[in-house]
Structure 1
């Protein structure tokens, strides 16, 4: 599996990595080849450009890490009291807030994007643009019929 990274990963700042010497550093935009995904938390990968394989955090581990990060608690000033307990209203502190985590569940974190290595195109690209009714489709069809080895259409 080949992936494009959308985040920077620094081994020195990761406290969860089991062995820092076996880790693989990458930056956003790097292309990695995932060699082994047997472990749920740590994958083995290597840079496509070359180099040795190393451990990278899995998508699941990064999602768990983001879900359980302590959020800053918002402090609201009480009306004229110095202590919250005197106001009669007690705020309940919760690490897992369903309203905030429901938003997290709806938006999957984009850490890795699966990509495919493709061979270079053998043909050059020709784009025909024209207003409706002027005939770019007719011109395209005539070009394809005239020389099908040289001209073709995209496959959606």
Structure 2
């Protein structure tokens, strides 16, 4: 019998208890319950959602609005999308960061660079924060695109959490 898990984000102990109790009321008790507690410092679905759902989305909307397309090596133009932007940012921003962090971003396979498992910010909120800051810096430098502050409370909370991590590490 496989275990099913529920991810719950809570900003306080009371919030956590309320959310877990609500989830357990609807639990199928014929299955085991798995509870994992985390200090929230690892990259999570929340950060990934912020990265793709807010940061990349804002950049792509501005690129498309300005009529800026990506040019392929064969001269073909294509409008930007979040997946394409992510692939470019991995190579332009994340690969150099991985080298700074002491990792190996690519290996050569048949003369072609192939990303390694090290090409990630997984496991570190501070590395994720640094990556996002460099993405914002890159798009400002290259296209004068500024990623606005989020208006949605969900993304605002993620930014507050990121600022706390940055401030904590600077102290």
TM-score interval for Structure 1 and Structure 2 normalised by the shorter chain: under 0.3
Q: Which has the larger radius of gyration?
A: 1
TM-score under structure 2 length normalisation: 0.24
TM-score under structure 1 length normalisation: 0.26
